Structure 1
Amino acid sequence: MSIEIELRSARVRYGPLEALHGVDLPVPAATLTVLLGRNGSGRTTVLRALAGTVPLAEGRVLWRGADVTRLRAHERARRGLCFVPDRRALYPSLTVAENLAPGGARRPDLAPALDAYPDLAPALDAYPELRPLLDRRAGTLSGGEQRMVALSRALSPGARVVLVDEPALGLSPAVAARTYGLLCALDAAVVVAEQRLPAGLPPGTLVHELRRGALAFSGQAGELTRGA
């Protein structure tokens, strides 16, 4: 099993508070990895450290063996990393179509037929609920609708690493299950952060549980449920 991206001895500090205490976390390629933990456990900080939105105080981030610790978040994004945070994951003043395909904002002639615009096809296939909302300002949508817009960015076929903080946040059970099905089908290293273990995970799903900034468990989902 090849490793796509990993943290090695990662420490993250927010002022005097250390949020991660020397975490080692390998993320295999083309595999779903679940980070479990309560609020304050460090699971969101792990995602941010991988994405480059928080700096490491100590340790390294390796991507296919290359040290990318000093690589900025936008540079990691250009290399194929997609990070969907739990909040502030879209542009509320832009329309749904503009959030899904920013180029559409410069092409007013596309407005009547944005649902046929090729860049929007993956998002609209995944979440057809967004079709009638394309000309709405994203900030006027419900929490679940906003989440679908944000999650659509994770479905890009060019993504090599996909990081999603609480993918099911605000979604109905049916849409949450569909979302997990879509994430599992990606040809990418997918890491999701959750407070509880989602139901229906595929065999071989890796789980890491964090407590107070350190790993308390690492293994497969079935091992965690048997030990519960």
Structure 2
Amino acid sequence: MSIEMRLRAARVRYGPLEALHGIDLPVPAAALTVLLGRNGSGRTTVLRALAGAVPLSAGRVLWRGADVTRLRAHDRARRGLCFVPDRGAVYPGLTVAENLGLAAPHSPAAPALVAYPELRPLLDRRAGTLSGGERRMLALSRVVLSGARVVLVDEPALGLSPPVAARTYTLLAELAGTVAVVVAEQRLPPGLRPGTLVHELRRGALAFSGQAAELTPEGTASSPGGSGSDRPR
């Protein structure tokens, strides 16, 4: 299995609180990886650490074996990393068309409108006037347009109707055939392909790493013999 990115003994602090406790986490190339965990588990912090949106207090971030720990977020984006946070992922003062233009300044926006045709009649609307689901579709359009080598998405289905959420996961699964895709969710998404790698986080530590089939529908290890261990902190 080829590894695109990796956290190595990664620690992240927010003031006096440590959010990640020395995590080792691989991101396979050309595959979908799911980060599971409740709010406060550290799953969002893992995405932010990979994206360069938060600094590590210890450890390293590796990208194809190269140490990018000190590489800033916008430089990682230039190298081919697309990060879609759960909130604040669009420019509210710009129109939908302008947001799409910023996502792909040298490419047409048509692929995003094919993926999310609901945006087509909204092109002249300011993003700040959209509903939560419409803003989410606009944010996810960056994934379609970015041409990224690594895609990180925090709660892809947040605010989406079930049909649009299912369409989004189909899109991400198809994309994962060629690029590394990492999504963070509170529960195991339905319809994952066999062999999908899942990391479950609890209180800033890895509780489980393995295939999705080894987890229950609730997103917990199906037996105590999984490849990870629950480490209370």
Question: TM-score normalised to the size of structure 1?
Answer: 0.92
Of the three residues 141, 166, 179, the one matched with 1:177 is: 166
Residues 134-170 of structure 1, C-alpha deviations (whole Å, 9 max, x = no match): 0000010110000000001012362100000000000
State whether structure 2 residue 42 is matched by structure 1 residue 42: yes
User: Which has the larger helix fraction?
Assistant: 1
State whether structure 2 residue 52 is matched by structure 1 residue 52: yes
Kindly provide the amino acid, as one letter, of the partner of residue 56 in structure 1. Answer: L
Residue equivalent to 1:141: 130
Equivalenced residue count is 217
SS in 1 for 2:38: coil
State whether structure 2 residue 213 is matched by structure 1 residue 222: yes
Separation in structure 2 between the aligned mates of residue 177 and residue 135 of structure 1, nearest angstrom:
27
Separation in structure 1 between the aligned mates of residue 70 and residue 169 of structure 2, nearest angstrom:
31
SS in 2 for 1:156: helix
Kindly provide the amino acid, as one letter, of the partner of residue 215 in structure 1. Answer: L
* Alpha carbons 2:11, 2:23 under 8 Å: kept: yes
Separation in structure 1 between the aligned mates of residue 35 and residue 82 of structure 2, nearest angstrom:
17
Change (3 A) 1:158 1:22: same
Residues 15-68 of structure 1, C-alpha deviations (whole Å, 9 max, x = no match): 110000000000000100000000000000000000000000000000000000
The residue correspondences of 1:103-122 to structure 2 (distance < 5 A) are 119-122=108-111
RMSD value, Cα: 1.7
Change (3 A) 1:21 1:77: same
Unaligned runs of 5+ in 2: 224-233
Same amino acid, percent of matched pairs: 82
Unaligned runs of 5+ in 1: 106-116
Change (3 A) 1:24 1:98: same
Residue equivalent to 2:83: 83
SS in 2 for 1:119: coil
Separation in structure 2 between the aligned mates of residue 156 and residue 206 of structure 1, nearest angstrom:
25
Offset at 1:102? 2.8
Kindly provide the amino acid, as one letter, of the partner of residue 196 in structure 1. Answer: R
Question: TM-score normalised to the size of structure 2?
Answer: 0.90
Change (3 A) 1:178 1:56: same
Residues 85-140 of structure 1, C-alpha deviations (whole Å, 9 max, x = no match): 000000001000000113999xxxxxxxxxxx952011101001100000000010
State whether structure 2 residue 177 is matched by structure 1 residue 189: no
Separation in structure 1 between the aligned mates of residue 4 and residue 103 of structure 2, nearest angstrom:
30
SS in 2 for 1:13: strand
